[in-house]
Amino acid sequence: MNAKHLTGAGLGFRRELIPELKSAVPAAISFFEIAPENWIDIGGLPGRELRSFTERYPFVCHGLSLSIGSPLPLDEVLLHKIRQFLDQHQAVLYTEHLSYCSDGGHLYDLLPIPFTGDAVKYVAARIRRVQDILERRIAIENASFYLCAPINEMNEIDFIRAVLTEADCDLHLDVNNVYVNSVNHAYDPVNFIRAMPTERIVYMHMAGHYHVAEDLIIDSHGADVIDPVWSLLDETYHIHGVTPTLLERDFNIPSLSKLTQEVERIAQMQTQSIYTGYSHAHYNS
C-alpha cells in the first residue's frame, strides 16, 4: 500500500487496540490517526509495534498540545520533534486544533480564540511558522467550545475562513464538532458546513459525544456516533464531496469489531455518495 495516499475511512490508533489489530486489520480501515505527543521518544516494543503499522498503512498525525492560539510562544522544540516523527513514519498529514490549551501551563481543555481581526493575523502567522518548521502544509480543525470569548468581531464561520486564507493552510473538518457547537450555540449545522471552503477540506472527523441537556453537549469522543451526526456527514459529502474521514474514539473504547461497524458505515456512505456523483479529490502528501 502506498503510505503517501489517504482515502476512505479511518480509525484512531489506540494502544488498547494493538493486540486485535496485530491479528488482523479490518478491510474497512484504510488509514489510522495518532497524536504524535503520545508517541514521540517512545521506543522498545511499543515503538516497534507502531513502526510495523506505519510501514504498511497511511497515518495522519493529529496534534494535541501545539496551542496555536495561545499568547505563549510556539513550542519550537516540540515542533522539531514532530517534524522528525512525521518524517520517520511517513505521515500523510499533520493537523491541529484552531484553539488554545496553554497559558503558563497546559489547561487540559481546548479554549476558543476570540473571533477578531487581530486574532486572525496572530494565529495565521503562527500557522505559517509551523508550516515552515515542519516543511509541509498543515490542516487546522474547527474546535468545539462551550463559552464564547468575551470579545468577538465576527462569527465562527468568518473567523475560520479568514484564518485559512491568511495562513494559506487546509481545513480539518470535524463534523461532530459542528453538530456539538450547533446545539450549544443554537445555529444551523448544515449552513455552517455549506459555508466551509470545499477547496480547503482535506480530512474529516466523526465522533460521539455526551448529551448533558437539551442545549448542552460535551464533546467526549467516548460514545457511539448518533443519527443526527451521521445525517450531517451525509449532507457534508453531498455539499463538499467525499473526503477521507476518521472515527475518533478516545474513551470507553469498545472492541475492535464494534468500532469497525462505525468505520464500515463511514465507508459505505462514502461509496454511496461517490455512486451518486459526490466525489472530492483525495489527499496526497
**Domains of the chain: which residue ranges?**
5-284
CB 85 within 8 A of CB 61: yes
CB 205 within 8 A of CB 176: yes
pLDDT in tens, 164-214: 999 999 999 999 999 999 998 899 999 999 999 999 999 999 988 767 667
Number of Cα atoms under 13 Å in the Cβ half of residue 280: 24
- Superfamily for domain range 5-284: Divalent-metal-dependent TIM barrel enzymes (3.20.20.150)
CB burial of 104-122 (b: ≥16 within 10 Å; e: otherwise) equals: eeeeeebbbbbbbeebbeb
pLDDT of residue 282: 54
CB 253 within 8 A of CB 18: no
Instruction: Report residue 159 as a C-alpha cell.
Output: 473567523
CB burial of 131-147 (b: ≥16 within 10 Å; e: otherwise) equals: beebebebbbbbbbbbe
Strand partners, 171: 140, 201
pLDDT in tens, 22-37: 999 999 999 999 999 9
**Mean per-residue pLDDT, 30-59:** 95
Q: By three-state DSSP, how is residue 206 classified?
A: strand
pLDDT of residue 264: 98
